[in-house]
């Protein structure tokens, strides 16, 4: 009685089972997921910027002050 071993994934937005390779189950979920992904990317870049500031500023100050 095992007929659901077909490869499948889960909707990244609501968790419903979707076809393998699909990210979301519907257009509504796709919109939600796109928004989430965009904000995640924003957080990522903000962290990069913070890292650059954290590492770059003291370095820059060292260069400016040193020479």
* Shortest reach from residue 66's CB to Zn ion, in Å: 56
Residues lying near Zn ion in the complex (CB under 5 A) are found at 11, 13-14, 16, 25, 29
8-10 and 17-19 beta bridge pairing: antiparallel
User: Which CB sits closer to Zn ion, 16 or 36?
Assistant: 16
* Shortest reach from residue 32's CB to Zn ion, in Å: 8
* Shortest reach from residue 16's CB to Zn ion, in Å: 5
Helices (H), the chain: 27-66
Residue 50: partners with Cβ closer than 8 Å, 6 or more residues away: none
């Amino acid at each position: 009685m095992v007929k659901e071993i077909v490869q499948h994934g889960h909707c990244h937005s609501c968790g419903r089972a979707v076809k393998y390779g699909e990210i979301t189950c519907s257009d509504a979920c796709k919109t939600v997921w796109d928004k989430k992904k965009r904000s995640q990317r924003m957080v990522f870049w903000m962290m990069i910027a913070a890292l650059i500031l954290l590492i770059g500023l003291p370095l820059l100050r060292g260069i400016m002050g040193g020479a």
